[in-house]
Amino acid sequence: MFILEAPYVSDLMLKTLENNQFEVLSNDIAKNYSSEYKLNLIDKNTAKNSLKVYSNSENSINWVLNNFQNSDLARLINLCKNKFEFRKSISSIYPNFFFTEIALKDLQIVDISKFPKQFIIKPSIGFLSMGVHKVSSHSEWENTVDTINTEVDMFAKNFPKDVLSSSNFIIEEIIQGEEFAIDAYFDKAGSPVILNIFQHPFVSEDDVSDRVYISSGKVIKENLKNFENILAKIGKTLNIKNFPMHIEVIKCADNTIVPVEINPMRFAGWCTTDLAYYAYGINIYEYFNNDLKPDWDKILADKQDKIYYFAMAETPADIDKSAIKFDYPDLEKFFYKVLDFRKIDYKEKPLFAVIFGEAENKEEITKILELDIHDFIK
């Protein structure tokens, strides 16, 4: 079963649901789309019998937890969404990893002398890079806490409490290495099936944004086996079956793979998981629903030198969205080869656009990272 929710559902996803007549929960979002797409809507009672559930957005979590109480699905969602509980659950795999949890109200009074010299702080329950901060030295702590308190009020206006809880924060050691994101599902036997691997480049050491993710034959071939192995370990430890996820990991210099967090019941947010379709012809919705596994050797046979990406044009916090216009044609011209250009209602959402593309070279990725969105605001 598929659950459609805000903030965004792609045309690719909707057409896939229509063409395959996959079961879709009959909620307000699905009903709105059913006037344009012939969706196979099912009622709540039928939906409760679903063995596999996928949603484009974690905004559906509250409904799932209320209607799948005491289920294995609910157990896994709760475990994955709480970063502190997730860390505890895999501590047997990473026994020396430092992490702790602190309430928002205690951030200003906590003794940080026993923390690592550098660490990451983020909401125990969060989405995208909201509330995530790197503390490079203990002297930065006071300013970081002030910033977090300001952000908490802003985030609460855009996402439900189930998605972004501001009551507790996890503090954990910084993992040095390359950051990747993986879209994968566990089949009914508990085996992981990887559908997407993204490398997450940054413009600087202090950058924690989600501006751009890249994929290529090289990225997938070099990491597929190692990522499958760590997913298998996590799956066995947590007893995961029939479950889709978007997992962020760090690849250390010694090739150790350390998970950063798991986002349950979905793949990459804002339907950016669709890059698999534009780059490799993989329709992830069909693959998940039909228990299909990519033949990566065949798929990547002629893709070794190509670099694909998705980029997110964020709305800056310092603008009055009601008083501006955005120059979409100029932004689209900025990119070398656009595979899909998705305009977002920036007056209601925190993005101007999501862009899928093929990069001319690595230098183009750097240009995207350094792009100043203000240049396209009129």
Can you tell me which residue has the tokens 């937890």? 65
Distances (CA, A) of 184 to 81, 116, 164, 238, 248: 16, 32, 23, 15, 11
* pTM score, whole prediction: 0.89
CA distance linking residue 368 with residue 209, whole number of Å: 12
Choosing among 3.60.60.10, 3.30.1490.20, 3.90.850.10, 1.10.10.10, the CATH entry for 82-173 is 3.30.1490.20
Query: Do 178-376 and 82-173 have the same topology in CATH?
Result: no
**What amino acid is encoded at 89 in this protein?**
S
* DSSP type of residue 245: E
Residue spans of beta strands (DSSP E) within the chain:
2-3, 23-25, 40-42, 54-55, 99-103, 119-125, 133-135, 165-173, 178-186, 192-199, 212-216, 243-251, 257-264, 307-314, 337-343, 351-359
Q: Three-state DSSP class for 208?
A: coil
CA distance linking residue 234 with residue 198, whole number of Å: 19
Name which of 54, 60, 4 is nearest 291 in CA terms.
Answer: 54
Fold of 178-376: D-amino Acid Aminotransferase; Chain A, domain 1 (3.30.470)
Q: Is 64 left (phi over 0), alpha (psi -120 to 50) or beta?
A: alpha
Name which of 226, 224, 202, 227 is nearest 213 in CA terms.
Answer: 202
pLDDT digit of tens for each residue in the chain (378 aa)? 999 999 999 999 999 999 999 999 999 999 999 999 999 999 999 999 999 999 999 999 999 999 999 999 999 999 998 999 999 999 999 999 999 999 988 999 999 999 999 999 998 886 545 678 999 999 999 999 999 888 877 766 666 655 555 578 999 999 999 999 999 999 999 999 999 999 999 988 777 688 999 999 999 999 999 999 999 999 999 999 999 999 999 999 999 999 998 999 999 999 999 999 999 999 999 999 999 999 999 999 988 789 999 999 999 988 999 999 999 999 999 999 999 999 999 999 999 999 999 998 999 999 999 999 999 999
**What amino acid is encoded at 185 in this protein?**
Y
Domain boundaries, given as residue ranges, for the chain: 2-79, 82-173, 178-376
